[in-house]
């Protein structure tokens, strides 16, 4: 089937066709999401938490996102796959950003990159797009700045910060971004940004009026249980079910009911006779 592109996502917005996006970090999860026809897969730096067990996205390296992007690229044939540029791999200069994004796209075999920031990232985004790299923006709460922002909180609650957020999103579109993630933004402000932009807005904790919604795989399916953000809905309780299943497996092994006759082969009666002879 045909690969989803940044352009085809813009067409969805024009046609009023809202779409879903999900993160994935490996072959198996990418295959699941792709088979479900989710058109946008993000190899997010949330892999720091849900895969590596760190407590933020900051320890994640470019090499690690490249590695996970490669796994995802082999699992998803149709979705557009975008990879997060990690903390400190694009802030030093546009050249650094070009080098990092180029490696992520080329070595990770994916369709573009996402980076965090508003107006201050516009020149960098412009350079990347000029070089042929599709860029997704990310404004509102930006987890790579957790240390300067003081942790997760809603951005754009007052008129001044709402105005700043709208300016940031507009600057991303002008710079050539093909979409923008709005994280922890008041629903009314997210709706206004969505109305003003021609590129799709992808909300997370940003209300029902964005052009798309993105969620972390492990949150959606109840795999990651250390913390459940308010903006998530659990569609499965996989961790619970997996613990039950693992317990049953361990019990069956202890009770000698696994493996059963279906799970192994044995010598023919004649060979068995000779074996003991
Ligand atoms: O890293 C990530 O998973 C993200 C999404 C939650 C937007 O940036
Ligand atoms: Na991220």
Domain of residue 65, CATH code: 3.20.20.60
Structure tokens at 122: 């516009």
Give, using CA atoms, the residue closest to atom 2 of ligand 1: 44
d(CA 30, CA 27): 5
Distance (angstroms) between ligand 2 centre and the Cα of 73 equals 18
Could you give the CA distance from residue 21 to residue 14 in angstroms, rounded to a whole number? 18
Q: Are strands 201-204 and 179-183 parallel, antiparallel or unpaired?
A: parallel
If one residue of 25, 29, 43, 46 were mutated to test the ligand 1 pocket, choosing by the most ligand atoms within 8 A of its CB, it would be 46
**What distance in angstroms lies between residue 81's CA and the mean position of ligand 1's atoms?**
13
Lining ligand 1 with CB less than 6 A are: 23, 42, 44-46, 84, 181, 183, 204, 214, 216
pLDDT band at 45 (very low <50, low <70, confident <90, very high): very high
Q: What is the pLDDT of residues 134-183, one digit of tens each?
A: 999 999 999 999 999 988 999 999 999 999 999 999 999 999 999 999 99
Please indicate, yes or no, whether residues 179 and 270 belong to a single structural domain of this protein: no
Is 240 an active-site residue?
no
Least reliable range by pLDDT among 10-19, 44-53, 149-158: 149-158
Annotate 90-122 with b (16+ C-beta within 10 A) or e (fewer). bbeebeebbebbebbbeebbbbbbbbbbbbebb
Residue 180 lies in a domain: yes
pLDDT 10s digits, 108-139: 999 999 999 999 999 999 999 999 999 999 99
Q: Do residues 203 and 260 share a domain?
A: no
Compute, in angstroms, the gap from residue 142 CA to the centroid of ligand 1. Answer: 9
Q: And the tokens for 244?
A: 């039950």
Residue 1 lies in a domain: no
In this structure, is residue 251 part of a structural domain?
yes
State which ligand 1 atom lies nearest to the alpha carbon of 114. Answer: 8
- Based on the fold, state whether residues 120 and 194 are members of the same structural domain: yes
How far, in Å, from the CA of 22 to the mean position of ligand 2?
12
Cβ atoms < 10 Å from Cβ of 22: 25
- CA 252, distance to chain mean position in Å, is 37
pLDDT number for residue 1: 61
Give the residue-averaged pLDDT of 239-263. Answer: 97
- Using alpha carbons, list the distances in angstroms from residue 141 to 70, 116, 162, 181, 185: 27, 9, 12, 10, 8
Q: What is the mean pLDDT of the chain?
A: 97
Candidate of 33, 59, 114 to mutate for ligand 1, largest count of ligand atoms within 8 Å of Cβ: 114
Closest atom, ligand 1, to C-alpha of 44: 1
Burial class of residue 56 (count of CB atoms within 10 Å of its CB; 0-12, 13-18, 19+): middle
Catalytic hit among 173, 183, 192, 213? 183
Q: Is residue 199 domain-shared with residue 262, that is, in the same domain?
A: no
45 is in an annotated binding site: yes
Which atom of ligand 1 sits closest to the CA of residue 23?
Answer: 3
Q: What is the pLDDT of residue 90?
A: 98
Sign of CA dihedral 180, 147, 119, 165: positive
String of b and e for 210-229 (b: at least 16 CB within 10 Å)? bbbbbbbbbbbbbbbeeeee
By residue count, the chain amounts to 277
Asked if residue 138 and residue 245 are part of one domain, the reply reads no
Separation of alpha carbons 54 and 194, rounded Å: 33
Q: Whose CA is nearest to atom 3 of ligand 1?
A: 44
Domain for residue 83, yes or no? yes
Residues 22 and 78 in one domain: yes
Q: Say if 138 falls within a structural domain.
A: yes
- 102 with 115, same domain: the answer is yes
Range of the domain at 59: 6-236
Q: Are residues 54 and 128 in the same domain?
A: yes
- Beta-carbon contacts of residue 245 (< 8 Å; ≥ 6 apart): none
Same domain for 100 and 227: yes
225 — pLDDT class (breaks 50, 70, 90): confident
Both 84 and 163 in a single domain? Answer: yes
Q: How many CB atoms lie within 10 A of CB 248?
A: 11
CA of 214 to the centre of ligand 1 (A): 8
Candidate from 20, 22, 23 with most ligand 1 atoms within 8 A of CB, to mutate? 23
Give how many domains the chain has, as a whole number.
2
Can you read off the two tokens belonging to residue 78? Answer: 């149709």
The closest residue, in CA terms, to atom 5 on ligand 1 is 44
**Cα angle 180-182-188, degrees, rounded to a multiple of 5:** 120
Same domain, 49 and 140: yes
Is residue 102 domain-resident? yes
In-domain check, residue 158: yes
As a whole number of Å, the CA-based R_g of the chain is 23
Same domain, 49 and 137: yes
Query: What is the C-alpha end-to-end distance of the chain, expressed in Å?
Result: 59
């Amino acid at each position: 089937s045909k690969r989803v592109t940044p352009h085809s996502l813009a067409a969805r917005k024009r046609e009023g066709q809202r779409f879903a996006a999900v993160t994935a970090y490996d072959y198996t999860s990418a295959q699941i999401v792709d088979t479900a026809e989710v058109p946008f897969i993000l190899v997010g730096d949330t892999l720091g938490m849900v895969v590596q067990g760190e407590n933020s996205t900051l320890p994640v390296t470019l090499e690690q996102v490249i590695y996970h992007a490669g796994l995802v690229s082999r699992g998803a044939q149709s979705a557009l796959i975008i990879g997060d540029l990690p903390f400190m791999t694009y802030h030093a200069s546009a050249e650094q950003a070009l080098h990092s994004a180029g490696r992520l796209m080329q070595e990770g075999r994916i369709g573009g990159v996402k980076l965090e920031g508003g107006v201050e990232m516009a020149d960098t985004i412009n350079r990347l797009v000029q070089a042929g790299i599709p860029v997704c923006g990310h404004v509102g709460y930006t987890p790579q700045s957790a240390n300067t922002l003081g942790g997760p909180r809603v951005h754009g609650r007052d008129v001044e910060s709402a105005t700043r957020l709208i300016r940031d999103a507009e600057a991303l579109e002008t710079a050539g971004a093909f979409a923008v993630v709005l994280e922890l933004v008041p629903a009314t402000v997210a709706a206004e940004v969505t109305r003003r932009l021609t590129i799709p807005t992808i909300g997370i904790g940003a209300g029902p009026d964005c052009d798309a919604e993105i969620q972390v795989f492990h949150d959606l399916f109840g795999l990651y249980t250390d913390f459940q953000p308010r903006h998530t809905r659990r569609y499965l309780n996989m961790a619970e079910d997996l613990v039950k299943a693992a317990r049953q497996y361990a019990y069956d092994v202890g009770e000698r009911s696994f493996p059963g006759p279906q799970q192994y082969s044995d010598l023919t009666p004649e060979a068995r006779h000779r074996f003991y002879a």
